[in-house]
């Protein structure tokens, strides 16, 4: 069925698209965002004007999503419909040319801002009239300044930035937790020198539930939904039949479980996707990934994502309502297999197991149901006790490696961690921990799991007998 859809939508997209030449993307510095660095180290996409073709191949299963990571590609601008463009930076930028200048949905990451501006200027010369932040994540909100400098230089009116009313509080929080955010993003993306910004371009105008914005005589409908964040805006452009989902659709398993970040809202997320399904949409422009062209594909992408989230919530709540422990949920709830085969729901950034934990946190508390964990002993004390019972930290490390050899990576992880906790000075324990978590990083599918495991392996390599 996907193959048939592919042919249909391919034909349709050809009539919708008048592509223009794509200028080269500037070289990024070596401290660029991990996703951008990834691009420079390994050119994942050679011709950005092929983005619709890539999207089509991905949809039909002819290209693996892992080779076109939706958060790793960066490049140029593609005109996806009349006066409508999509800029494939780390976070995507959707650009609408109107009779009164440009409206942008999202503005890009700080390090990509100049490149994004250049791509847009090669396509359209109108002033930036309005920028909408789909949410306050830092990869979406740093592109306005370049346009403001341009406006000032040209004597143009300054752009208006619109966002949901919860967004300013996010920026405030980012300033309060800058150190934490630097560390967790270094870990998540495996970029040791990543820095967290301290200054933000706050919105000029905010709204609560719904806002219609008129630019150049055209209506842009802004809708609020809690989902990946509490400050999400998805934008519908009825005259063009274009939907900008923000990160409520990102060409991989929803980022509704992120282990190191604040609460996500899977059920409200699904509800927003279902609301989008009531609209007349031909083109979906997501916050990451690729355009989805054609009403049938858009419907399928939104429906499948909603179903995945709803299934995880239903299963988790069923167990919670029976008094299950968090441990039961983690090892019982399973995403529907058919949905996990979809090219746009692969667990390559976040993963469903982490979503289950977020559901627990959302509807429950931090207590996991294990009474030993309510007021626990220090981890090191527990580990030393276990080591003493087993015959020493070295024995725990050996057992970790045996379990790794037997293919039980989860259990191996516990034993390796326990070995170093029991004796933090043991090179053998750190060697085992480095090997086990390096293997876990290789085995993991998601950016988030790979990041955490690789970080642990790297810590122990430094303290082990074979530092690199
Ligand atoms: Zn994003």
End-to-end CA distance of the chain: 50
Task: Calculate the CA 351 to chain-centre distance.
Answer: 11
**CATH number, residue 260:** 3.60.15.30
The per-residue pLDDT of the chain, averaged, comes to 89
**Domain membership of residue 438 as a residue range:** 377-463
Tell me how far CA of residue 383 lies from CA of 379, 435, 440, 451, in angstroms.
Answer: 6, 19, 21, 24
Cα(318) to centroid(ligand 1), Å: 31
Cα(136) to centroid(ligand 1), Å: 9
Cα(255) to centroid(ligand 1), Å: 9
The DSSP secondary structure of 245-274, one letter per residue, reads EETT--SSS-S---TTS----HHHHHHHHH
Cα(283) to centroid(ligand 1), Å: 19
pLDDT top residue among 207 and 63: 207
Cα(287) to centroid(ligand 1), Å: 6
Contacts of 201 (CB under 8 A, 6+ apart): 141, 142, 144, 145, 161
Indicate the pLDDT class of residue 72, thresholds 50, 70 and 90.
low
Indicate the pLDDT class of residue 23, thresholds 50, 70 and 90.
very low
Cα(159) to centroid(ligand 1), Å: 22
Considering only CA atoms, give the Rg of the chain: 23
What would the pLDDT profile of 286-307 be if each residue is shown by its tens digit? 999 999 999 999 999 999 999 9
Alpha-carbon torsion, ordered 174, 179, 183, 188, to 10 deg: 0
Q: Are residues 268 and 381 in the same domain?
A: no
Eight-state DSSP code of residue 401: H
Q: Are residues 67 and 146 in the same domain?
A: yes
Half-sphere exposure of residue 35, counting CA atoms within 13 Å on the CB side?
26
Q: Are residues 173 and 292 in the same domain?
A: yes
Place of tokens 């509490």: 230
In a domain, 40, yes or no: yes
Give the pair of three-digit tokens for residue 300.
Answer: 């399928």
What would the pLDDT profile of 323-352 be if each residue is shown by its tens digit? 999 999 999 999 999 999 999 999 999 999
Q: Are residues 12 and 105 in the same domain?
A: yes
Q: Are residues 248 and 395 in the same domain?
A: no
Which of 275, 307, 339 is the C-terminal boundary of a domain? Answer: 307
The whole-number pLDDT of residue 49 equals: 54
Q: Reply yes or no on whether the pLDDT at 40 is more than 90.
A: no
Q: Are residues 253 and 395 in the same domain?
A: no
Q: Reply yes or no on whether the pLDDT at 46 is more than 50.
A: no
Q: Are residues 149 and 257 in the same domain?
A: yes
Q: Reply yes or no on whether the pLDDT at 34 is more than 50.
A: no
Give the pair of three-digit tokens for residue 161.
Answer: 């930035």
Q: Are residues 209 and 61 in the same domain?
A: yes
In a domain, 350, yes or no: no
Look at phi and psi of residue 365 and say left if phi exceeds 0, alpha if psi is from -120 to 50, else beta.
Answer: beta
In a domain, 116, yes or no: yes
Cα(361) to centroid(ligand 1), Å: 22
What would the pLDDT profile of 155-164 be if each residue is shown by its tens digit? 999 999 999 9
The whole-number pLDDT of residue 42 equals: 32
Q: 368-405 burial by CB neighbour count: b if 16+ within 10 A, else e?
A: bbeeeeeeeeeeeeebbebbeebebbbbbbbbbbebbe
Cα(268) to centroid(ligand 1), Å: 18
In a domain, 83, yes or no: yes
The CA angle 211-116-184, to the nearest 5 degrees, is 80
Q: Are residues 34 and 112 in the same domain?
A: yes
Cα(162) to centroid(ligand 1), Å: 17
pLDDT top residue among 46 and 63: 63
Cα(231) to centroid(ligand 1), Å: 12
In a domain, 246, yes or no: yes
Distance (Å, whole) CA 393 – CA 403:
15
Cα(335) to centroid(ligand 1), Å: 23
Place of tokens 């070995």: 419
Q: Provide, rounded to the nearest whole percent, the portion of the chain with pLDDT above 70.
A: 88
In a domain, 430, yes or no: yes
In a domain, 46, yes or no: yes
The whole-number pLDDT of residue 465 equals: 77
The β-bridge partners of 219 are: 214
Cα(205) to centroid(ligand 1), Å: 21
Cα(98) to centroid(ligand 1), Å: 25
Q: Reply yes or no on whether the pLDDT at 13 is more than 90.
A: no
Cα(72) to centroid(ligand 1), Å: 11
The whole-number pLDDT of residue 442 equals: 98
The whole-number pLDDT of residue 68 equals: 84
3-state secondary structure of 105: strand
In a domain, 356, yes or no: no
Which of 307, 340, 364 is the C-terminal boundary of a domain? Answer: 307
Indicate the pLDDT class of residue 466, thresholds 50, 70 and 90.
low
Which of 252, 283, 307 is the C-terminal boundary of a domain? Answer: 307
What would the pLDDT profile of 82-140 be if each residue is shown by its tens digit? 999 999 988 999 999 999 999 999 999 999 999 999 999 999 999 999 999 999 999 99
Q: Are residues 48 and 145 in the same domain?
A: yes
Q: Are residues 391 and 276 in the same domain?
A: no
Q: Are residues 284 and 395 in the same domain?
A: no
Q: Reply yes or no on whether the pLDDT at 247 is more than 50.
A: yes
Number of domains making up the chain: 2
Cα(394) to centroid(ligand 1), Å: 43
Cα(137) to centroid(ligand 1), Å: 6
**CATH number, residue 459:** 1.25.40.880
Decide if 267 contacts 310 (C-beta within 8 A).
yes
Q: What is the mean pLDDT of residues 277-281?
A: 98
What would the pLDDT profile of 146-194 be if each residue is shown by its tens digit? 999 999 999 999 999 999 999 999 999 999 999 999 999 999 999 988 9
pLDDT top residue among 47 and 288: 288
The DSSP secondary structure of 269-316, one letter per residue, reads HHHHHHHHTTS--SEEEESSS--EESHHHHHHHHHHHHHHHHHHHHHH
3-state secondary structure of 128: strand
Distance (Å, whole) CA 311 – CA 278:
21
């Amino acid at each position: 069925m996907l193959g048939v859809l592919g042919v249909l939508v391919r034909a349709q997209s050809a009539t919708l698209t008048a592509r223009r030449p794509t200028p080269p993307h500037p070289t990024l510095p070596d401290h660029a965002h991990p996703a951008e660095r990834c691009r420079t180290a390994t050119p994942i996409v050679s011709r950005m004007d092929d983005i619709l073709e890539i999207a089509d191949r991905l949809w039909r299963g002819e290209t693996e999503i892992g080779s076109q990571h939706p958060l790793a590609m960066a490049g140029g601008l593609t005109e996806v419909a009349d006066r409508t463009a999509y800029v494939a930076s780390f976070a995507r930028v959707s650009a609408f040319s109107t009779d009164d200048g440009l409206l942008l949905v999202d503005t890009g990451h700080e390090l990509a801002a100049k490149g994004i501006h250049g791509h847009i200027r090669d396509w359209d010369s109108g002033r930036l009239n309005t920028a909408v932040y789909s949410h306050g994540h830092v990869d979406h909100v740093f592109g306005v300044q370049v346009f403001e400098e341009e406006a000032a230089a040209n004597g143009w009116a300054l752009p208006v930035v619109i966002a949901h009313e919860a967004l300013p509080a996010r920026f405030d929080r980012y300033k309060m937790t800058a150190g934490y955010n630097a560390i967790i993003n270094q870990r998540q993306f495996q970029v040791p020198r990543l820095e967290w910004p301290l200054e933000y371009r706050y919105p000029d105008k905010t709204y609560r539930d719904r806002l219609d914005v008129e630019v150049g005589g055209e209506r842009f409908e802004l809708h609020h939904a809690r989902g990946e964040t509490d400050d999400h805006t998805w934008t519908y452009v009825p005259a063009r039949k274009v939907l900008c989902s923000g990160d409520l659709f990102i060409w991989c398993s929803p980022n509704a479980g992120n282990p190191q970040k604040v609460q996500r809202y899977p059920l409200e997320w699904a509800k927003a996707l279902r609301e989008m399904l009531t609209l007349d949409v031909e083109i979906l422009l997501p916050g990451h990934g690729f355009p989805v062209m054609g009403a049938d594909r858009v419907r399928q992408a939104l429906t499948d994502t909603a179903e995945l989230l709803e299934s995880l919530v239903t299963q988790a709540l069923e167990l919670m309502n029976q008094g299950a422990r968090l441990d039961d949920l983690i090892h019982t709830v399973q995403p529907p297999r058919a949905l996990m085969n979809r090219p746009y729901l692969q667990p390559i950034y976040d993963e469903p197991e982490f979503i289950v934990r977020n559901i627990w946190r959302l509807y429950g508390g931090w207590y996991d149901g294990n009474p030993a964990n309510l007021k626990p002993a220090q981890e090191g004390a527990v580990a030393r006790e276990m080591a003493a019972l087993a015959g020493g930290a070295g024995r725990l490390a050996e057992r970790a490696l045996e379990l790794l050899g037997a293919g039980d990576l989860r259990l191996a992880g516990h034993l390796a961690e326990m070995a170093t906790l029991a004796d933090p000075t043991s090179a053998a324990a750190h060697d085992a921990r480095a090997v086990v978590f390096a293997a876990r990083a290789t085995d993991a599918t998601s950016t988030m799991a790979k990041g955490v495991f690789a970080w642990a392996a790297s810590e122990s390599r430094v303290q082990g007998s074979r530092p690199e």
